[in-house]
Amino acid sequence: MSTISVGDLVIRKSHGGDIVFKVTEIGTNETGRDYCTLKGLHMRLLADSPIDDLERVDAEHLKQEIVRLEAMYSDSLRRVMLRRSQELEQREMTRAESSKKFAFFDIPGKVLHIDGDEDYLKMCMKTYSQLNIEAVGRFIEEEKQPDSLLALIKEHRPDIVVVTGHDALIGGGKKGFRDMDNYRTSKYFVRSVQIARDYQPSRDDLVVFAGACQSYFEAILAAGANFASSPTRIFIHAYDPVFIAEKVAFTPISKTVDINDAITASVTGVEGVGGVETRGKFRLGMPKSPY
């Protein structure tokens, strides 16, 4: 009898324990072999594995993994706040002397974040709050996202839409990279982007990020996304969509988002996230009310 249960944190022995997963489902395949459905603890990856290939994560391994990934996250957060400080200093330097007696107020872009993972959604919403971004979050399973997106856009009127969750490339080799059937959930991300673009065709009026681990990057961009994952089909970090959205939210509307800066601000970088030129969503106002 296997000791693996739903909710356990595990690694795959055949993959050298490269990623920590949570077991979300246990079942039996057509040959009678016990299989588990897994989701990445910090990576937006879905996977299946024979239950006998799994091993529970010991406390020390889990501690090291959390420390490593949180260090990556903290470094990204630190770079964002440093950039913000430099941008504020630059704005103050360029202000006319006559206006310096008045205080500015900021209006960053508003985010609608739809996530196929409830745990990741909570993590991302906490980060939006830390970054002073107004954000609305909804947990919706990937296959249901296209049916829910339009009503949420109309209700919340976001500047930036994030549609994410879990995905995986499940076979086909290099030739299979262009076959939508070889991706677990990319078709739902593509359809969601198409719905967003049917509603608002302009990439500058509504900015869209879509995708997860190993997603069909080219198809998502072709559907009309501004940013997508995953150009080289690598695993992306749970926070990558947040840092892309932050860069757009705090780039002035008079400027185009520096694609290189936006991508390098993410946790996994250019191999995990890509995009196209996009106008920012940040507005500066004055004077700041004393009330």
Superfamily of domain 70-285: Cobalamin-binding domain (3.40.50.280)
Q: What secondary structure does DSSP assign to 232-278, as a single string?
A: T----BTTHHHHHHHHHHTSBTTSB--HHHHHHTSSSGGGT-EE---
Residues in the chain: 291
Angle at which helices 186-199 and 145-156 cross, to 10°: 30
> What pLDDT sits at residue 11?
87
How much helix, strand and coil, in percent to the nearest 5, is found in the chain? 40, 25, 35
User: How much of the chain, in percent, has pLDDT values that exceed 90?
Assistant: 51
Angle at which helices 59-94 and 240-249 cross, to 10°: 10
> What pLDDT sits at residue 237?
87
| pLDDT band of 52, cuts 50, 70, 90 | confident
Q: What is the mean pLDDT of residues 250-263?
A: 90
Rounded CA gap, 191 and 143, in Å?
10
pLDDT in tens, 111-161: 999 999 998 999 999 999 999 999 999 999 999 999 999 999 999 999 999
- pLDDT mean across residues, the chain: 88
Q: How many helices (H) and strands (E) does the chain have?
A: 7, 13
Confidence check: pLDDT of 85 > 60: yes
pLDDT in tens, 229-253: 999 998 898 899 999 999 999 999 9
Residue spans per domain, the chain: 9-57, 70-285
Establish whether the linkage from the previous residue to 74 is cis, with ω within 30° of 0. Answer: no
Q: What secondary structure does DSSP assign to 131-193, as a single string?
A: TT--EEEEE--GGGHHHHHHHHHHHH--SEEEEE--B-B-S-TGGGGG-GGGBSSHHHHHHHH
Are 240 and 272 a contacting pair, CB within 8 Å?
yes
10 Å CB burial of residue 210 (0-12, 13-18, 19+) is buried
Read off φ and ψ for residue 38, nearest 5 degrees: -125, 150
Beta carbons within 8 Å of 50's beta carbon, 6+ residues apart: 33, 34, 35, 36
Confidence check: pLDDT of 94 > 80: no
How far lies 248's CA from each of 30, 80, 157, 159, 254, in Å?
Answer: 47, 12, 16, 9, 12
Q: Which helix (H) or strand (E) holds 24?
A: strand 21-28
CA angle 186, 269, 81 (to 5 degrees): 120
Rounded CA gap, 196 and 21, in Å?
32
pTM for the predicted model, two decimal places = 0.85
Highest mean pLDDT among 14-23, 56-65, 196-205: 196-205
